[in-house]
Homo-oligomer: A and B are copies of this chain.
C-alpha cells in the first residue's frame, strides 16, 4: 500500500536509530525523549505492518524491512538537504566570508574535513582559518576580526550566540601496562602523584584541572607539549598522563600505543560550541556551516554525543 502515512520525520528517525545503535542514543541526537522515539518507531512499524528493528540485539540491528527503509533514507534525505540549501541560497545569496578562530588544539582534526564538505556546497563562501592561540577568542567576533569561533565555553556574551556542536568525552591516557590501567575509571586522587602532559595553555583552560583536580585539591606537576603526537609520545614513554578528547586518540588506541580510561564514574564530558555574532546567526551560509560541522562530526568522530543544550 502506498497510502501509508510515512514522513521524512520517520526516515530521520530510522537513520538516527541505525547510526546511534539504539533508541536512547537516537533520541539524544534528535533532541527528543527516549519515549518519543519508542512511540514513533512503534507507530511506524504498526503502520507498515512490519518490524523494522531487532529489539534484542545490542547494538540494535535492523530487519530486512528496516534496511530497505534506511536505504531510502540515505537516498532521499541528502536530496532534501541539498534542496533546502539551494532555497537558502535563493533567499540570502550564496556568497559570504567566514573567518574561523579555533580555541582547541585538537579541533583541527574534524574541522578540516568539515570545511572540505562545506566548500563543496558553498563554493561562493570565502573560508579563512585564524591561527595562533587567542586569549579571548570570542572577543574577536565583536572586534570584527573573526566571524565564527569554535570554543568550549558556553558563556553567553551580549551580541554573541553560542550554538552547541556536540559533547565529547575527555579520556585519561596511560602507557600500556600502567598500574592505573587496572581500574575501570580514574578518580581524582589517582592523578595525585602523576605528571600531567598538556598543551601549553593556562591551567584554567584545562577541563581536567578545572572541573576535576582543582575541586579535589589536587595539583599534579605539569609538562607541556605543542603537538598531539608529542603528548602521546610522552605518555607512551611513561613520562606522565594526559587527558585528550576521545576522537583525537582513537587511532592511537586501536594500535595499542596508549590505553584510555574514563575520568570519574560517568566520564568527564565537555562540549564544543560555535560562537557567532547574533546578527550573523540567521544567515544561511553561517547556519549551514554549523549544521555541516554537526553532521560531519557525528558521521566521523567516535564517542561523541549530542549537545545537552538543544540547538
Binding site for B on A (CB under 8 A): 1-4, 6-9, 48-50, 64-65, 68-69, 71-72, 75-76, 79-81, 83-88, 90-91, 282, 284, 287-288, 291, 311
Contacts and interface: CB of A to CB of B under 8 A. Distances in A.
Count the copies: 2
Contacts of A81: 2
Nearest to A71: B83
Given A3-B311, A8-B6, A76 B87 contact: no
A2 B291 contact: yes
Interface SS, A side:
helix
A1 B68 contact: no
B69 A87 contact: yes
Contacts of A69: 83, 87
A3 B284 CA distance: 11
A286 B229 CA distance: 64
A280 B256 CA distance: 61
A219 to B, nearest CB: 44
Given A65-B91, A72-B83, A76-B80, 20 more contacts: A1-B284, A1-B288, A1-B291, A2-B81, A2-B287, A2-B291, A3-B311, A6-B84, A7-B8, A8-B8, A48-B87, A48-B91, A49-B91, A50-B90, A64-B90, A68-B86, A69-B83, A72-B79, A72-B80, A76-B79
